[in-house]
Amino acid sequence: MRNETIVELVDVWKVYRMGRRRRIEVEALRGVDLRVPRGEFLAVMGPSGSGKSTLLHIMGCLDRPTEGKVLFEGRDVSRLRPVALARIRNRRVGFVFQSFNLSPTLTALGNVELPMVFAGVPRRKRLARARELLARVGLRERERHLPSELSGGEQQRVAIARALANSPDLLLADEPTGNLDTETGRGVLSLLSEANGEGVTVAVVTHDPEVAAAAARKLRIRDGRIVGDDDA
């Protein structure tokens, strides 16, 4: 049976050392406890610098906590080696960023294929899946276009298709509508909701009230601590 909690954080601290000789310590997260059940649509809100992105990165195994435990599908991943974390990110997690972050050298199709290349999916299967995903986000006709030839909204839709490539359990989006106008943002939001409707757990860092309204659970974070949680 699959674990019904997809990711759980137990007293997670993240301290960055910055500046010359790394003497300045910045506490991005200060003792965060969080349990995200499978299938949830979670919005993370808070002022800039409050630790939202760090929280998202740690949930997605992109970063490791300085202290505390991270359980991904019940397994402690807080001390795993980079190669094992890369594997989890590749198979289980999809990331969507505010600035799209598509590879400028690859076409829309190539970008969607990328996670499958790293996963070692055979080319034929990969192309079929990438085309299916592009069709789903309404960009089947633009598969040969480079990111520089696409609008912001189109780029973000490609990014969502890429995040879904390896059928992840967890989709993490960091201000996915932050660089888009309201109308385009709605299109992106509906794609996220659609994925959530199909059973993918979605966590979105956002300032956008419309996005927050779509989420079933809202998390407020300030100075590295969770200060508000609908669920709590």
Partner 1 sequence: MLDFLRIAVRGLLHRKKRSWLTIIGILIGITSVVALVSLGTSMQLAVRRSFEELGYDVMMILPGELGGGFGGPASLGASFEIDADALSEVEGVGEIGLMSYESLYVRAGENEGFLDTLGVSENIFSFFKVEMVAGRGFSPGERGAVVLGVEVAKELNLDVGDTLEIEDRPFAVVGIYSADSRLDEDAILIPLPDMQALLGTQGVSMVFVRAAPGYEVGKVATRLEEFLYESRGRRDLSVQTMEEVHEVVQRALGILGAFLGGIAGIALLVGGIGVMNTMYTAVLERTREIGVMKAVGARNSQIMLVFLLESGLMGLVGGAMGTGIGALLNFAAVTAAKAVLGARVLEYGISWWLVLGALGFSFLVGAFAGLLPARSAAKLDPVRALRYE
Give the binding site for partner 1 (CB under 8 A).
Answer: 54, 57, 60, 62-63, 82-83, 86-91, 93-95, 97, 101-106, 110, 114-115, 117-119, 123, 162-163, 165-166
Q: How far is the CB of 53 from partner 1 (least distance, A)?
A: 8
> Given the DSSP bridges, would you call strands 24-37 and 5-18 parallel, antiparallel or unpaired?
antiparallel
The whole-angstrom separation of Cα 54 and Cα 60 is: 10
Smallest gap from Cβ 82 to partner 1, in A, equals 6
Nearer to partner 1, 117 or 216 (CB): 117
Q: Tell me how far, at minimum, the Cβ of 232 lies from partner 1, in Å.
A: 27
In the complex with partner 1, the residue whose CB is nearer, 60 or 176, is 60
In angstroms, give the least distance from the CB of 230 to partner 1: 27
* Residue with Cβ nearer partner 1 (63 or 208): 63
Residue 32's alpha-carbon distances to 44, 67, 103, 162, in angstroms, are 13, 10, 33, 29
**Considering beta carbons, is residue 15 or 212 the nearer one to partner 1?**
15
Q: Could you tell me which residues come within 8 angstroms of residue 75 by beta carbon, excluding any fewer than 6 positions away? A: none
Closest-CA residue to 129 (of 142, 140, 201, 194): 140
Instruction: Choose between 62 and 212: whose C-beta lies nearer to partner 1.
Output: 62
Residue 33 CB, nearest distance to partner 1 (Å)?
21
Residue 230's alpha-carbon distances to 36, 37, 201, 219, 227, in angstroms, are 12, 14, 17, 7, 10
